[in-house]
Amino acid sequence: MKTARSAVLWSGMDILIRQSVTFAVSIVMARLLSPAEFGTVALLAIFLAVATIFTDCGFSSALIQSQNVSHDDESTIFWFNLSMGLVICLLLITAAPSISSFYEVPSLTPITYLLAGNIWLTSLGSIHSTLLTKRLEFRTLMKVGLIASISSGVVGISMALWNFGVWSLVGMTLSGTASSTGLLWMLHSWRPRFVFKTNSLRRFFRFGGYLLASGLMDAVYTKGYAVLIGRFFGVRELGFYNRANTTQQMPVGILTNILSRVAFPLFSAANAKPAKLRRGAQIAVQSITMISVPALLGLAAVADPFVLVVFGKQWLSAAPILEVLCIAGLFWPLHIINLNLLKATGHSDLFFRLEVIKKVIGIASLVVGASFGVMGIAYSHIFFNCVGFAINSFYTGKHLNYGFQKQLADVLPVVLTGGIMAAIIKSLDHQIDLVDAARLPLLVAIGIVSYAGIGLILLPNQIRTVRQVASRPS
């Protein structure tokens, strides 16, 4: 319990501080650059995501899941990642003119050249980051993330002020990765040996291979909107959508990133004790949703004044998209918990089959949604996340007896409480005759007070669980 608490604390601090810095930087950048400039870089999202997954091939998760890993195993994976990073980098450079022609954006070619190099830079520090995660050394990761976020923010804002335009975003990305990789090597003593064992690759690929394939499908789905919007609706519309998407991911992303980091290694360690694993999953579901649900529903309720106050009038078209994506994100933490349970129990083959089913449904819903415009794409995420949660939790129920109905029973009271809170905010929004900068914090305060008050009545079980965990001796 002490290890788990410490891991959650440091991982939470790392992600909260780093994403807060990143979000603060994005606010400044949004006021210095146009939606079209953000949309131009977002065009490459799917290509960079697929490239990153190929570079790792699922081996990082395999190293975390495996309980018996030697230094030679780690070194083999390091050299593989480094080699794949170089190959993928060269492939992206070769494909850059074709990508630019596809989108009909000539400036995309040199941008692709530079961001391809970022893939190789990332591969240099991937093993260090994986080993720190496996050993729950999130304090070190926090230092790395904080310094890298600040340094990249300084570079990006400085370049934007000097009128570098879209290149400010490229410079920010490259400087962040370079800082992060350099710090990982400085702060972690691990160094690779000059060995390469093919039997190590075969061993880890049995687990990682399924994750590679599922990761590729996930990238195609989660970043597919960039291809559809960028190709058929233009970079400006993509800029609005991407702004809404990254803003929605701020509250839910902090929680799910903590879950992805901490839950997988902890669930893997508890794999041999189903009862302990099941109780851990229930605590995670109840605790996370008590934070994520009101955060998302509250953000949806104040989407208009939030976008105006935080990003400025030029981004107002992102507000309706943000509202829909917040609703879509309600079940995302549950999706992450269920996937980590399947991975931690060694069911990577089942994990893969489920990902195939879900992503086929997800990609189809994206395409259908695109026929109704950008908002149609946003609404398709609501459909997919509901279906994905139902599928994942069904199989968690089979293996751990904590399936769809039990998870829904833990979540619905929180959704009801959050829904009442959002309704109160919405009903008062247009009745408060104040400027947006004053109305927004007042609405947030009303939301917090109403959620806390209603929660005391409707969420006794969830509150009791959180209190028991918090008061348990280390």
Give, as one character, the DSSP assignment of residue 70.
Answer: -
**Comparing C-alpha atoms, which of 227, 218, 222, 261 is closest to residue 245?**
222
Q: Which one, of 191, 35, 216, 50, lies nearest residue 119 by Cα?
A: 50
pLDDT tens-digit series, residues 266-297: 555 555 467 777 777 788 888 888 888 999 99
Give the span between the Cα atoms of 413 and 421, in whole angstroms.
Answer: 12
pLDDT in tens, 17-63: 888 898 999 999 999 999 999 999 999 999 999 998 888 877 777 78
Yes or no: say if 308 and 302 are a contact pair by the CB < 8 Å rule. Answer: no
SS3 8: helix
The confidence score (pLDDT) of residue 272 equals 47
pLDDT attached to residue 135: 79
Distance CA 325, CA 317 (A): 14
Residue type, 129: S
Whole-angstrom CA distances from 425 to 209, 250, 307 are 47, 20, 16
Q: How many residues does the chain have?
A: 474
The pLDDT value recorded for residue 348 is 61
Q: Which residues contact 272 (CB under 8 A, 6 or more apart)?
A: none
CB 333 within 8 A of CB 255: yes
In 3D space, the residue among 106, 371, 378 whose CA is nearest the CA of residue 238 turns out to be: 378
pLDDT tens track for 234-246: 999 999 999 999 9
Residues of the chain with pLDDT under 50: 1-2, 264, 272, 474
87 vs 134: CA distance, rounded Å: 27
Write down the pTM of the prediction: 0.86
Burial category of 53 from C-beta neighbours within 10 Å (exposed 0-12, middle 13-18, buried 19 and up) = buried
Output the pLDDT for position 28: 97
